Chains A and B, each alone.
Chain A
Amino acid sequence: MELQILGIGILTWLVFLPIVGMLVVLLLPDKNRNAIRWTAAIATGAQVVIAGIIFALFDRTQLGINEAESFQFVEQFSWITVDAVPWVGRIEISYFMGIDGLSILMVILTALIGFIGVISSWNIDKMVKGYFALYLLLVTSMMGVFVSLDFFLFFIFWEAMLLPMYFLIGIWGGPRREYAAIKFFLYTFVGGILMLLTMLALYFSVAYTDPATGQSVHTFNILHMMNPANYIEGSLLAGIDTTWRYVAWMALFINFAIKIPLFPFHTWLPDAHVEAPTPISVILAGVLLKLGAYGILRLNFPIFPDATLYFVYFMAALGMISIIYGALCAMAQDDFKKLIAYSSISHMGIVVIGIAALNTQGMVGGVLQMFNHGIITAVLFLAVGVLYDRTHTRGLYDFGGIANQMPKYTGIAMVGMFAALGLPGLNGFVSELFSFLGAFEAYKWIAIVSVTGIIITAGYILWTIQRIFLGETPEKLHDLKDLTAREIMMFVPLLILIILLGVYPSPAIELMNTSLSHLVEFVTMGGS
């Protein structure tokens, strides 16, 4: 399916609208803060509209994953073509974007969180122009990763995220922002280099025959990398179950595990979250972490099915450790934001054991959990931000009895917390259930141990609710204002989704079911 606006493909609009917004922001005078904010809101709002159109028009029966024809809204242009270089044949880099059942939920999530992030950025007063310019650049690169089907393009978007993020944490962050920013940057850059090397190895190993000219063409096209027939005989990554394929899988996996973040690559996350300003925490938890899991599904699984089958237990074990370890760490925190940061690690662990199950339930559960976790943590981080704006503290023991003072806020935050806990009727329950079901089918012991993480989660969430909302109100916390209209506005769409997907998750599941079943089949058949 193709869809164009003004002759330009809809995905290009979707990805580059924020860049247009950024240019406008840069041209606006410094003083005109509201115009800058509105520009950002319009650019990201338009993204939400486009994501809505894509949602409405998306054909739920197309497979995607490794079949170029069944991707939707495809845009493919030759970007760099160097003809007949004597040493490698033709070089080809293309501007290749498309959506399938794997990416569509992530696209919707990114658009939504990006927009809500702008609303919650409204009260940022320091260097507004620079902030929104970087913010919009960040949104573009995140969206770009989710729709890229060319490894080179994927990589450019992936790395383009780092710099804006570094400055957003480093300039607008909390007291230890420098440390947190450089830690984030170095961690992810290590991953980036690993991915770069894997990408190069893949590039030199893969060549398809151009049907038009009969030339052998080296390409960055991800779909061509999934086809075992395209691997050049004797090249580094040719064959099945070779050491180099395992190494390449591992290099990619470490890159994505850093982003997810999986134990033991998670240590950047609590620092980055605690120091980042609220909207950036929302983006980080809401979208950035999903990039890791998405990358595993988009690249690791279908390009290296053999290595995936080999390492799947290892992956699940790391997921299990993350669930338990993240939950235990969350339990030990007395900083509200750090608690949610660790709970993110725990919840992303559920995603990993879900997708590592390599069956449809697990996979669907995992991807749905990515979406749900994005929504839920966004609510939780926004809730922390609201409280911090009013009290300038995040210490869990500094609060108490908030329920009496801020009833609306309490209601909203409670919904978010119960969703995180996995209460039936809210969206977290559905995806966790599916993930664990899938995992149980694939590897019982890991699933059984992992489920105990839910109990710990219930423990720290209930304890947090008790410490913040219930009990005596400390002296200094009297006269807190309840939510303003703007704040309610940023919570409402998320709450609707939490409840809607909790009661009736099929619209989301239908979107991805076909593609994910195909992915499962593709991987378990060893890529044939």
Chain B
Amino acid sequence: MIEQTLHSLSQFYPEIAIVLTLCVIIVADLFTKKESYTTGYIFLGGLVITGIFVVMQSGQNESVFYDMIAVDPFAIFFKVLLVLAGIFIVFFSLQSRELKDYKSRIGEYYMLLSGMMLGMMLMVGTTNLLLMYLAFELTSISSYVLVGFTKKIHKSAEASMKYIVYGAVSSGVMLYGISLLIGITGATDMYGINAALVAESGQPLILNLSILMILVGLGFKAAVVPFHFWAPDVYEGAPISIAAILAVASKTAALGLMIRFFTVSFIDADGLMQTGVWQVIEGIHWNVLLAGMAALAMIIGNLTALMQDNIKRMLAYSSIAHAGYLLMGLVILSEEGIASIMIYLFIYLFMNLGAFYVAMLFSNKLETESIEQYKGLGFRAPLESVAMTIFLVSLTGLPPTGGFIAKLYLFGAVVNAGWIWLVAIAGITTVISLFYYIRVARNLFFFKPAGKLMPIKFELGSKIFLFVLLIPTLLLGIYFEPVLNFAKNSIQMFGM
């Protein structure tokens, strides 16, 4: 038993590293000067070490801590994404103007970020419903506080409050669902649930009800319609760095958890990967339900984004729409669908963070997040504006950017699975999305600046970091074989 635990610990280094980082940040915060960046760099270092441990795990495929957590290629892929997102967010935070007013509490900020990272990394690895709930709550509670971190700003406090209320209700509903599921199957881990369901598929009503309830919690985290109402207010109120991590990392973790939960718990052991995994659950046509949610998310997200003036609100609705696109992959839930979700998330990381980053740079210098105020910026900050255009075009899905490849594979998977109406909606909404994305580019370039043509100066560091996000966005549009291979090799889940 000790042996098993020790072995499990040896597979748990990334999580241990992030916990240690958290502790070091707390201690360091006591001893360093309040105005320094030390804690930020400690967090960065901790993330890099975590990242190294994650990479060292590659190729593992096992379950540790008595089927609590799986260390498999699937989890490792998502952890890589999360750590990357975390590292980028540190650079965001170090440059953020909004956070400068709260320097004395910045240690707290990074500590909470570490907690959130830990929660998300557990979310993508867990195979046990109890741990799933704990990880979920760890992520949520950290992010509630982070959203309200700039508490002197009215909107930020309001956003945090809304997020808490909404989050508490959804996770409560989810917990109820989890308890029902455990009650009817008598198991807490997903493999046990699967075995129980395959053995006897009685009580479809309660089963369906419990899954619906769990879906509420997961849908809330991924910001899918109809559980998306928190997103715009929260994104708008939160500091940009936190809005970015919610839009990218949080969504990634939630999707990872969703995929694993549905595949592992509800697949027929005979391997129905080709046709979908929904056969075990009778009653509701789950893939039709999910397809409906995806379609709604695409339609509502994109249509509402048309009317936004605040760039963060616009990106919030755009992220709802992207959750809809991603959900299409879940509808199919064949290996192909999962791989295309993973490719999408990988590319989405760079392009969406890029858009948030430029929005933050502009907000730092101009103290505005209004798209209307961007008029003429293309002449004052050419590099940043061109980069913004490329990120937004990539989010639209136009070649030759990475966003096109992401959409190509996702749409391809959906076409191949025969969901033509769904992909048609996706296509139409993509056209709609062009309109609001390109509106930003229009404001940047089509208007002469109102006053004198004063170039805005950005630090060299910010320009370099911009290229760190820009180059993958462009490169993945023309050379994406590595990502395909990475995703292809990472669809393997433990026990599947």
Contact = CB atoms under 8 A, between A and B. Distances in A.
B446 A197 contact: no
Contacts of A203: 412
Contacts of B446: 170-171, 177-178, 181
Contacts, number: 86
A159 B478 CA distance: 13
Interface in B464-482: 478-481
Contact of A200 (B411, B434, B485): B411
A201 B399 contact: no
Query: Which among A156, A159, A196 has the highest number of chain B CB atoms within 10 Å?
Result: A196
A91 interface: yes
B2 to A, nearest CB: 39
A167 B399 contact: no
A182 B334 contact: no
B488 A163 contact: no
Contacts of B176: none
A80 interface: yes
B430 A193 contact: yes
A171 B441 CA distance: 11
Contacts of A86: 335
Interface stretch (B91-99, B118-126, B416-424): B416-424
A236 B441 CA distance: 38
Interface in B399-423: 399-400, 404, 407-408, 411-412, 415-416, 418, 423
A88 B408 contact: no
A506 interface: no
B445 interface: yes
Interface stretch (A183-191, A295-303, A420-428, A474-482): A183-191
The residue in B404, B427, B438, B441 that gathers the most chain A C-beta atoms within 10 A of its C-beta is B438
Contacts of A162: 398
Nearest to B429: A193
A467 B408 CA distance: 52
Given A163-B398, A197-B424, A87 B334 contact: yes
A80 B408 contact: no
B416 A85 contact: no
Given A162-B398, A185-B438, A194 B427 contact: yes
A8 interface: no
A82 interface: yes
A91 B431 contact: no
A204 interface: yes
Given A86-B335, A87-B334, A197-B424, A204 B442 contact: no
B442 to A, nearest CB: 6
Contacts of A189: 398, 431, 434
Contact of A91 (B411, B430, B441, B484): B484
A87 B335 CA distance: 7
A155 interface: yes
B418 A170 contact: no
The secondary-structure label for the interface of chain A is helix
B85 interface: no
B189 interface: no
B431 A197 contact: no
Nearest to B417: A204
B445 A167 contact: yes
Given A87-B334, A171-B446, A82 B434 contact: no
A171 B445 contact: yes
Contacts of A159: 398-400, 404
Contact of A186 (B427, B431, B441, B485): B431
Nearest to A170: B446
A484 B493 CA distance: 72
A170 B439 CA distance: 11
A102 B77 CA distance: 47
Interface residues on B, range: 35 or more
Nearest to A87: B336
B278 to A, nearest CB: 18
A177 B447 CA distance: 11
B416 A80 contact: no
A81 interface: yes
A181 B393 CA distance: 15
A163 B437 CA distance: 12
A174 B274 CA distance: 55
Contact of B442 (A88, A156, A178): A178
B411 A197 contact: yes
Nearest to A192: B398
B333 to A, nearest CB: 12
A483 interface: no
Contact of B438 (A88, A155, A182, A192): A182
Contact of A80 (B407, B424, B481): B481
Interface in B123-165: none
A82 B481 contact: yes
Contact of B411 (A85, A177, A196): A196
B435 interface: yes
Interface string B372-413: 000000000000000000000100001110001001100110
A160 interface: yes
A166 interface: yes
Contacts of A167: 441, 445
Nearest to B337: A87
Interface in A196-255: 196-197, 200-201, 203-204, 236
A236 B435 CA distance: 31
A270 B329 CA distance: 41
A91 B424 CA distance: 24
Contacts of A166: 438
Given A156-B400, A159-B398, A177-B446, A193 B431 contact: yes
Nearest to A191: B431
Contacts of A156: 399-400, 404, 478
A106 B404 CA distance: 27
A79 B428 CA distance: 29
B312 to A, nearest CB: 23
Contacts of A236: 415, 418
**Residue with the highest number of chain A CB atoms closer than 10 Å, among B393, B412, B423, B430:** B412
A124 to B, nearest CB: 16
A193 B481 contact: no
Interface in A125-160: 155-156, 159-160
B399 A160 contact: yes
A82 B435 contact: no
A360 B339 CA distance: 47
Nearest to B335: A87
Nearest to B434: A189
Interface in B442-496: 442, 445-446, 478-481, 484-485, 488
Contacts of A181: 442, 446
A193 B427 contact: yes
A170 B445 contact: yes
Interface of B: 274, 334-336, 339, 393, 398-400, 404, 407-408, 411-412, 415-416, 418, 423-424, 427-428, 430-431, 434-435, 438, 441-442, 445-446, 478-481, 484-485, 488
The 7 lowest CB-CB distance pairs between A and B, nearest first, are: A193-B427, A87-B336, A156-B399, A200-B415, A204-B416, A200-B412, A159-B399
11 contacts: A80-B484, A87-B274, A156-B404, A170-B446, A181-B442, A181-B446, A186-B431, A189-B434, A196-B407, A197-B415, A200-B408
Given A82-B484, A181-B442, A197-B415, 6 more contacts: A156-B399, A156-B400, A159-B400, A167-B445, A197-B427, A236-B415
Interface of A: 80-82, 85-88, 91, 155-156, 159-160, 162-163, 166-167, 170-171, 177-178, 181-182, 185-186, 189-190, 192-194, 196-197, 200-201, 203-204, 236
